[in-house]
Chains A and B, each alone.
Chain A
Amino acid sequence: MSGRLPSLLVLADGTVFEGEAAGAPAEVATGELVFNTVMSGYQEVITDPSYAGQVIAFTYPHIGNYGVAASDDESRRPFCRGVVVRDLSNRPSSWRSSRTLESFLRSHGIPALTGVDTRRLTRHIREAGAMPCAFGTAPEDRLLAAARVEPGTDGVDLVATVTTDRPYTAGHGPLSVVAYDFGIKRAILAQLGTMATVEVVPASTPADEVLARRPDGVFLSNGPGDPAAVGYAAETISQLLGRVPVFGICLGHQLLATALGARTFKLPFGHHGGNHPVRRLDGGAVEITSQNHNYAVDEGSLAAADVTHVNLNDGVVEGIRCRDVPAFGVQYHPEAGPGPHDARYLFEEFRRLMLQGALT
């Protein structure tokens, strides 16, 4: 006997899933429902600010097995709206674990749902697309009503909800990098921090302020939601291009493309997992990558840059390099956290680009 309260998950299209309440108590919690296919790394996913506004359903049934370790947090707190799992582990086992996932969620006010047929849920989203949902202990009709009025992420500036209030410094490397925080992950700072002293700045920081710091390079971070909703950032980036080497990851990559005049579009259910094959067009090697994005760059609209990486599953653009200015971006997560380390060479490329910039 679990002693948990029965709880429902209702999608905006009226589909209902049974479960039991977990995490922070909630009668009604809402958000855009996405699924993630990683088998390990739930803590990094849950604390990734890119999930702001979203409810994360894990396809792997047992979540919480090795508990939570402070050093694995990807940001100061989780920004997601909820977590849906098949089975939340009661008793974690790991020499590094300091608490259970459930107590972590509860202390951050994140509601969760356990006991859910997450495979049926995934199959449904795969067919119907990511969509708003509501879950909690409230009756079905209230949940359905809440799901229907939940705005989702399209056109919403979620970056403003996750970016840092004021600049701060991270890392101790010899170069200097300014990193735009659209929802930056700590794994990225750890990578950049070995090569540079990184000043992390709010998303709204104007270009001239950044240039005034005379950085060796500017990094555009990952972040939540629709790139079209953060037009101000693309505007800033266009002012930086050509004046300083630029490297963007995920939302940063999309904003880089937007600044170059390309369009972005929403994928049916996005890429969220740690096993996506990406071909590096230079040389043809295949990287297994960590991904987390609902939007992607429209290849046809890309004029000033070349595609450098493509997703082998569906052909989506995974990396671009500007033809005329020192700037490149990747849609996936070379910093891992969670996920494979296959693409860490990209940070080295950024370093090389910065060193070249210093020479010229």
Chain B
Amino acid sequence: MPKRDDIESVLVIGSGPIVIGQACEFDYSGTQACRVLRAEGYRVILANSNPATIMTDPELAHRTYVEPLDADVLAAIVERERPDALLPTLGGQTALNLATQLHERGVLDAFGVEMIGANAEAIRTAENRERFKEAMTGIGLEVPASGFAHSLEEAMKVGEEIGFPLIIRPSYILGGQGTGIAHDADTLRALASTGLAASPISEVLIESSIAGWKEYELEVMRDRADNCVVVCSIENFDPMGVHTGDSITVAPAQTLSDVEYQAMRDSAFACIRRIGVDTGGSNIQFAVDPADGRQVVIEMNPRVSRSSALASKATGFPIAKIAARLAVGYTLDEIANDITRKTPASFEPTIDYVVTKVPRWAFEKFPGTAEILGTRMQSVGEVMAIGRTFPESLQKGMRSLEHGRLGLNCDPAEQLLDSLSDDELVRRAAVGTPDRPFQLEAALRRGISVERLAEATAVDPWFLDQIAQVTAERAALAERGLAGMDRAAFRRAKRLGFSDGQLAYLFGVPEGEVRTSRLAAGVTATFKTVDTCGAEFEAATPYHYSTYEEEDEVRPGDRPKVVILGSGPNRIGQGIEFDYCCVHASFALREAGYETVMVNCNPETVSTDYDTSDRLYFEPLTTEDVQNVLDVETRSGGGPVVGVIVGLGGQTPLKLASRLPEGMVLGTSPEAIDLAEDRERWADLCRRLGIPQPPGGTAVTVDEAVAVADRVGYPVLVRPSYVLGGRAMEIVYDADGLRRAMAELAAVGSLGREGGLSAERPVLVDRFLEDAIEVDVDALRDRDGEVLIGGVMEHVEEAGVHSGDSACVIPPPTLPHDVIELLEAHTRAIAGALGVQGPINVQYAVKDHEVYVIEANPRASRTVPFVAKATGVPLAKVAARLMLGSTLAELRTDGLLVDPVDGGHVSVKEAVLPFNRFPDVDTVLGPEMRSTGEVMGIDTTFGLAFAKSQIAAGNRLPDSGSVFMSLADRDKPGGAVAARRFVELGFSLVATAGTAHFLEAEGIPVEAVVAKVGEAEPAPGSLDAIDLIGSGKVQLVVNTPQGRGPRADGAYIRTAASVHNVPCLTTVAAARAAAAGMADWGSHALQVRSLQEFHEGGQLRLPV
């Protein structure tokens, strides 16, 4: 069946900001879909609020709406664009839910929009657990014993009937949010209550827990002729009970016999047919009882999912691309397999390697959270590793995580487990945590049996035995010593995935020595190809992984090669923005005639799509693995390797810069990068340039820190050097606070785990400028010294809130013209003094008209994509060209560099925070970054753009009702300004006693006064703050912290707001911005406009 010609335009909905459970995999899938639909000749309309995505690049769709993903907004887009079809299956749960809402509101019918891929009925059957259960039972598939509840009483009754342990899952939710296991009535009551609140239809499924069973997933595709194929099977290393997004998973399934696998395949096809997913991909989860092989269906996603992205990268079968083609009418056999080019897509990939996905958590960012994995997903990113065997891929995965580990133990960090008794070690391994694989290896090393561990942990004995092989080999290696290592011994070790670093640790020698003797023994990494077919057919697609075998398959072309190092797993502080930059570099350099070579290990990203670059190496970003890539690129011939781009992937590649071969780093030199990081030399440079810095100094000991603080005065900002995303940064107001902060940095927490403080890793202590405005400047400098200011971004939250967690605005709404000129001049001077060739980001604090420089990073920043979307200037592409030696003048002539646009618009970037995943964590913003993603609001005024950014971030500002205010003393004058605006807008105010007193003294009416928790005995019958928030009588909370400790006053108020989904602002600046937003939002009709229209708006310079 050919493609449909009865539709001309397709609306694609993206997944919005990166949040836990929904990350860049949907940029990958959405980007593929947009490309395919465009190539097929359809007019593509895209809606996505996330500016850091490739899919929102204006070239990818005809109309790109960077607008909030909200039903009202989507309805406006539909009304304006009149698409023929809506493709809802490539933007995660967000797109599916929105499509359902549009359908239910009648918007789709009213404008004649057809849902393609999956229809509303199919979505309902798959997503509503009650219907799903009925549907599965109806076709003879088993589901765990369960019942539904719509109220707490019903939940308790159903729970009693089924019997403990129980698993509670809210309907229509994402990534297991609100899910948990209950072993008793109290836990059941608590989980059911939060679950009912989390579910948009107030429904929870209460299910007999099958924790400890084996868990599997099948990725299935179906076309409109009813052809079905399994793209990939996945087996979880962690048993049922750990969310699949938090499990180590392995492809293909390892411990299913063909009889069981085929039964599962039959069930999966029956499921997709029954649910009625007409075309596209679905993933279906199964649990298998290890005792008798009984299979039950857990759930199915009628859309492309995180697992589909993994399956695509794991097999080379591009699920999203094919799903998009199937949605417009093609059948599988009409689509060519991209990789073999000769065979059709209607086949089932077979692979000849093992893929392991390992999640990346960020528990260090959320103190107070138990590091225990359960049914609610908590990881913020993941890595994938490919090896010929499971041990090899597992060890590669462990060193890809960038947690300072060299593999599965055999590194300094393993010693943390030494002090545990055998029983304690087994007891800990029985609980799913990020440390479990390391504990299992340590236990096996102590001689604890596979049987005992399997019994205690429910991890399959096959996996344990594979780890035991690593352990046994390690013992043999230790006995042999480096001197005894011959070719056979090196080969055996490398084939089990040992890194040179692990061997160096084992032999007590520097890593370089291991490498030298390994190469002398003739053992080098070889590179194989991911080809979907186990080498049965010749592969055209250059997608490679390293292993230790007998031949290389790399076939470079003749053009000069540029290696781009990606940014590794998503984590807080380093996410999709950097992948965006790397992808843009690859596009720009391919266009400029280079052969681009991408190295990365994050399966969610566009950069690891095999057709983004000329060659893709799916490899850990370590010195050894990157060196292997450089070696194979060199020895395979073809064009010369020109160099390596390290400046676009965030800290990950930057850390490798100084360890790459001399002269390989393109653009800004490693020395300049070091200079900007080196506190003393950087201070000298600023002094020389006459740019003021907040006074400060460095310290290795507590006493040194106190001495610095005494000199510069409190409050001070304390931060370790060489960390990402403001990790462990703190503002302290006195010597006691400083001593406590220093003690924490030196001893405990993840920094302590990585070796604590030293002369090489001192702490920076700086005077903290209270109430200063923070400003980010992104700029580019070329080899001739010309500097282009990309964007000047004024932050909404004051300095002290991490720039990644703060909203920021282009053009700056309050900065005077002369200050902006000064910021630009300083940026030019710094870029020049550092000899930058490529991108640079400089952060400033502006206080009382005085500009202080806080730090400079001579690399691409998190804000590059936002600036590009706001101004229309492709900063990342230009940066990549400058790094290869082009000048800005040349790129202007080429047409790549255009002037920034002035479409008469204001752009606001807002951070999206994961607090709903960590209910025990205070939501107050501080110098430690905790946001996982960002959204962008664009409109004609700051207020409207800010209001859109809040809707997009999931904190829709109210249009009427009550505002609850509880302000720290120093925030009261500023807060009063916002309070007055709220009253003018018709809101009533509720406040805590002190705040109410202050406001009333200012002549601002306060409707009611409530007690803080534990503040005083509340008057009989009156509510305290928590009850008030829980009662739904408050539409907005403004609570600024007294002091900045993690357990400061007000934490309970903020937590209550987070739990009950009431927008909560924790700074006065945000409250004022919200007031501006509410004012404009209330007085203007909703308007949507595409990026293309904004960018076509005119080539006028932004203010200054």
Query: Which residues of A are interface residues toward B (Cβ below 8 A)?
Result: 1-2, 17-18, 35, 37-41, 43-44, 59-62, 65-66, 69, 72, 86-87, 89-96, 117-120, 122-123, 126, 273-277, 279, 284-286, 288, 312-313, 336-341
Contacts and interface: CB of A to CB of B under 8 A. Distances in A.
B460 A119 contact: no
B528 A277 contact: no
A313 B253 contact: no
Contacts of B535: 59, 119, 122-123, 126
Contacts of B536: 35, 37, 59, 122, 126, 273
Given A38-B258, A338-B262, A61 B350 contact: no
Given A61-B388, A285-B227, A313-B347, A117 B258 contact: no
16 contacts: A37-B536, A61-B352, A61-B353, A61-B389, A87-B388, A91-B461, A93-B462, A96-B293, A119-B549, A126-B535, A277-B347, A284-B333, A286-B331, A286-B332, A313-B344, A313-B537
Contact of A93 (B227, B252, B333, B460): B460
A89 B354 CA distance: 14
A86 B395 CA distance: 18
B342 A72 contact: no
B476 interface: yes
A248 to B, nearest CB: 23
A66 B351 contact: no
A166 to B, nearest CB: 30
A281 to B, nearest CB: 12
A286 B228 CA distance: 8
B252 A39 contact: yes
A91 B349 contact: no
B interface, size bucket? 35 or more
B351 A1 contact: no
Contacts of B492: 1-2
Contacts of A285: 225-227
A40 B265 CA distance: 12
B296 interface: no
A339 B262 contact: yes
A231 B19 CA distance: 67
A117 B551 contact: yes
A312 B461 contact: no
A37 B254 CA distance: 15
A126 B538 contact: yes
Interface string B425-459: 00000000000000000000000001000000000
Question: Which 8 A/B pairs are nearest by Cβ-Cβ distance?
Answer: A41-B258, A59-B534, A338-B258, A93-B462, A91-B465, A122-B535, A275-B348, A117-B549
B398 to A, nearest CB: 19
Contacts of A35: 534, 536
B748 interface: no
B174 interface: no
Q: Is the interface of A mostly helix, strand, loop or mixed?
A: loop
Interface in B330-386: 331-333, 342-344, 346-354
A86 B388 contact: yes
Contact of A122 (B255, B259, B352): B352
A94 to B, nearest CB: 6
A122 B476 CA distance: 32
B293 A62 contact: no
A46 B354 CA distance: 22
B495 to A, nearest CB: 8
B722 interface: no
B257 A69 contact: yes
A87 B253 contact: no
B262 A61 contact: no
B551 A120 contact: yes
Interface in B454-476: 460-462, 465, 469, 472-473, 476
Nearest to B473: A1
Contacts of B257: 40-41, 43, 66, 69, 72, 94, 96
B533 interface: yes
Nearest to B489: A1
B258 A312 contact: no
A87 B348 contact: no
Contacts of A37: 350, 352, 533-534, 536
A348 to B, nearest CB: 16
B666 to A, nearest CB: 33
B618 interface: no
Contacts of B254: 62, 65
Contacts of A66: 255-257, 462
B565 to A, nearest CB: 27
B344 A87 contact: no
Given A1-B472, A61-B352, A122-B534, A277 B333 contact: yes
A94 B266 CA distance: 20
B450 A312 contact: no
B291 interface: yes
A273 B348 CA distance: 11
B450 A91 contact: yes
Nearest to A125: B535
Contacts of B346: 277, 286, 288, 312
B684 interface: no
Contacts of A38: 258, 350
B229 interface: yes
A95 B294 CA distance: 10
Contacts of A90: 465, 469
A114 to B, nearest CB: 11
B258 A118 contact: no
Nearest to B551: A120
A92 B528 CA distance: 27
B390 interface: yes
Contacts of A93: 255, 460-462, 465
A277 B462 contact: no
A95 B291 contact: yes
A126 to B, nearest CB: 6
A311 B388 CA distance: 29
Contacts of A277: 333, 343-344, 346-347
Nearest to B548: A117
B550 interface: yes
B290 interface: yes
Contacts of B850: none
Given A37-B533, A95-B292, A340-B262, A60 B333 contact: no
B352 A118 contact: yes
Given A2-B492, A43-B257, A96-B293, 11 more contacts: A35-B536, A41-B261, A66-B257, A72-B259, A95-B292, A122-B535, A123-B553, A273-B350, A277-B343, A285-B225, A288-B229
Contacts of A288: 229, 346-348
Interface in B42-59: none
Contacts of A40: 252-253, 256-258, 261
A315 to B, nearest CB: 11
A274 B254 CA distance: 16
A341 B462 contact: no
Which of B233, B255, B344, B460: most chain A Cβ within 10 A?
B255
A338 to B, nearest CB: 4
Given A18-B550, A37-B533, A95-B293, A341 B347 contact: no
A286 B330 CA distance: 13
B259 to A, nearest CB: 6
A232 to B, nearest CB: 34
Nearest to B289: A95
Contacts of B261: 40-41
Contact of B390 (A39, A62, A118, A337): A62
A337 B258 CA distance: 8
Nearest to A39: B252
Contacts of B258: 38, 40-41, 43-44, 72, 274, 337-339
A126 B533 CA distance: 12
A2 to B, nearest CB: 8
Contacts of B469: 90
Contacts of A279: 333
A265 B435 CA distance: 57
